[in-house]
Chains A and B, each alone.
Chain A
């Protein structure tokens, strides 16, 4: 967007505004701590604009990095992106290969150039059933995760290749092999053995392209009570920082509203109780 404009200083003003906005949100103390993204619609976008599917995925990647930048700046602790589903192996071999290739290059780029990761101190993790990947892809991934593993301020989970059901089963298996006694097995234990174990709980889940399904993404975490699910009509490459900012603002507003409402309701209840007790005393 900003590259197209010819007004001098345009880019500077935009980034300044973005900065102020994200810091303001951060000051609200109510930004989501863990955001999940289902990046849907790259191919439809490519078809719509008459370009190759591969370029659609590229555009999707750019939009992802812009959005993540805003998120981390606003104080989001963890972002989880759905890059590749286990079901995606059903696609044509050519596309699967190009997706693999893209992911491999991008993971390298994110970590080696270190623009995003170093600036925000992001630890990159690749989660999912990585045993399904080719050897050289796996090697690159290991390399990348090694490089950023000491960053502690934020986390980026790349789900590659992933399905929610596989994650749950994986966690069950882990729990079983670690030989806990049956009485020790509970929800939190399964929770902590998920790929996202140890990270803050999911607060916000965003899906683009107007589809109202989870498509097997974070089903365990996303079905919890209180997780906000936003379904958007735009395709992923069209989903820019502006819309993301809007969603974050909405989230912060609702959260701080419900927080202060809770406190107030409690106050009122106490008041009412006091009144009641006063009434009782009168009767006595």
Chain B
């Protein structure tokens, strides 16, 4: 199957899905999640911008970009103001270009010197580019071999066998997921739902009771029903349709809990896993909300400023967002926390594979292995 075909299929799927989301919004309780989405006017979901682009059909662009970053450094200086106009929040470029421009003025650099450094830079970048290409290929083939070595083949017993060898497992696991461009493998809404439910299956099989799934835009939080169905389907593949383990999906931000079947009741007592869905909203914004509430309490003289301690904030945030995870898995090429709730990563162990882009079992199990070998010493 060619890339374009895959893209076409995915586009179709996604278009179908966005419609579904909008429909859901109008008739169900999810209306309060996306406040401004009505049925009359269509606002694309926040992830839409990220689904554009993608690695399919972009070879020309990539080559263009690489050659630009090597050769067109002069342009970079002149072009930066343009970029700023395009996206105002990207003020990093503004400051860096102005600061270095002042540097070149201060030093009274002549044109010759400037050109010399530019040429050296081009050579350095060129060599680094070649090195980087080799490294990328090496990492990719390494990941492929690892994928072959660790293959769960949808059976909890095999995962169990892998985990039993470890001398400790995390009691709380977290994972950062990303919505990928629809053209890519495992992209679009379908991709992230699939990744999330696979992860839930592995986590249950490994015997970990708590899993936090984080995605920046909160796509999972907005598609809880689809997620619940996807998890249910995957679990019935792993455990057989007759004995699907009970699970609970918790969305701390909306204070909502969903169970695997629509009827609440007897299953409530015993769930095999609790999945929390987090988004960027649960991070800094929640701390800001807490500050706001505390400021109000203080102005009403119900709370003394000196009573606000790390412990107090900690208990509040634990209630609002949840506990700190022991291990955080990141399924991206290089570690970027993407706005994961900052309060909750104090002593969390991170694991990711260099240049990896897929949610695979090998990353999961290798993360657990690394965790088993680590030793935490607070301050000592």
Contact = CB atoms under 8 A, between A and B. Distances in A.
A190 B343 CA distance: 14
Contacts of B73: 27-29, 256
A186 B288 contact: yes
B359 to A, nearest CB: 19
A155 to B, nearest CB: 13
Interface stretch (B36-44, B113-121, B247-255): B113-121
B69 A187 contact: no
A23 interface: yes
Nearest to B293: A182
Contacts of A263: 68, 79, 82-83
B378 interface: yes
Nearest to A179: B299
Given A27-B114, A28-B121, A253-B132, A229 B336 contact: yes
A116 interface: no
- Name B's interface SS: helix
B145 interface: no
A87 B379 CA distance: 5
A228 B314 CA distance: 26
B64 interface: yes
B346 A165 contact: yes
Contacts of B342: 164, 168, 219-220, 222-223
B99 A75 contact: yes
B187 interface: no
Contacts of A29: 73, 76-77, 80, 96-97, 100
Contacts of A256: 69, 73, 76, 125
A23 B61 CA distance: 29
A170 B354 CA distance: 36
B86 interface: yes
B339 A223 contact: yes
A85 B379 contact: yes
A177 interface: yes
Contact of B335 (A165, A215, A229): A229
B337 A266 contact: no
A133 interface: no
Contacts of B86: 266
Contacts of A177: 305
Interface string A15-26: 000001001111
A200 B98 CA distance: 13
A269 B92 CA distance: 23
B66 interface: yes
A179 B287 CA distance: 17
15 contacts: A20-B117, A24-B117, A24-B121, A87-B379, A88-B379, A164-B342, A168-B313, A169-B309, A172-B290, A176-B294, A185-B295, A200-B92, A215-B346, A223-B338, A259-B83
Interface of A: 20, 23-31, 33, 75, 77, 85-91, 163-166, 168-169, 172-173, 175-177, 179-180, 182, 185-187, 190, 200-201, 203, 211-216, 219-220, 222-229, 231, 249-250, 253, 256-257, 259-266, 268-269
